[in-house]
Amino acid sequence: MTGLTRAGVASARRIVVKVGSSSISGENVGQIAPLVDALAGAHARGAEVVLVSSGAIATGMPYLRLDARPDDLATQQAAASVGQNILIYRYQESLRRFGIVAGQVLLTAGDLENDTHRLNAQRAMERLLGLRILPIVNENDTVATHEIRFGDNDRLAAMVAELTDADLLVLLSDVDALYTKPPHLEGAERIGHVPFGDELAGVEIGSIGRAGVGTGGAETKVSAARIAAASGTGVLVTATSLVAEALAGEPVGTWFQPAAR
């Protein structure tokens, strides 16, 4: 059995969408509404939708009077504790327009590495989706330590896609696609399609996001895309501003072809 093709994106039955901190916090908090519009559109056609959202620490920072992302773990945990509450409230207020209820799911890497915890998480996610709840997943930054962190939510999203047997994973950022070199450099060319197993030889992949409030860049997205594709999930990497077009199956972003299931 073959995995999802790009032509089948608009009919994917189970979708995981990941959005980064820089896309929905600070001056970009207004992007939550159009993101929710796109998720609600997929939900309305019958798809099961999971949102993996970064942003707890970035959202909490102003309430702790912090001008920059804190370096120490305790302050990160405090900012996440405050920010997660506000972030979920913002999503639920926007989802209310469509009569959709969100469910909060906070995970640590240890949860998905321990068989019992993984099974519990999988069972909870399946039940939420069966009830037509939209799970919003984030790393549990309040209790996670440096030793057990996912490192970035792109990796978490890939693991959630694998956990839920998703057809499609959409990785959103502030860049519209993967390029042959950082897109601000002369000669950078958009990569539209990555065959399964392609090592992307000769491609210069940046490792740092542009906004400074998150932890992921193109490197983490490529790594996450490979994890998800290896488990049979098709992956689309594009900009948050293009999420509606992406979920509608329009030819945006970079498509990572999945392994055959």
Which residue positions form the known binding site for ATP?
18, 173-174
Say which DSSP state 260 is in: P
Say which DSSP state 176 is in: S
Query: Can you read off the two tokens belonging to residue 261?
Result: 């299931």
* Of 168, 156, 176, the residue nearest 256 (C-alpha): 168
Over the range 150-178, which residues count as b (16 or more CB within 10 Å of their CB) and which as e? bebbbbbbbbbbbbbebbbbbbbbbbbbb
Q: How many Cα atoms are found within 13 Å in the side-chain-facing hemisphere of 214?
A: 30
Residue ranges of the annotated binding site are 18, 54, 141, 153, 173-174
On whether the CB atoms of residues 58 and 21 are closer than 8 A, the answer is: yes
In the chain, beta strands by DSSP E: 14-19, 48-53, 102-107, 134-139, 168-173, 178-179, 190-191, 193-194, 234-239, 254-256
Residue ranges of the annotated binding site for substrate are 54, 141, 153
Say which DSSP state 102 is in: E
Other Cβ atoms less than 10 A from the Cβ of 149: the count is 19
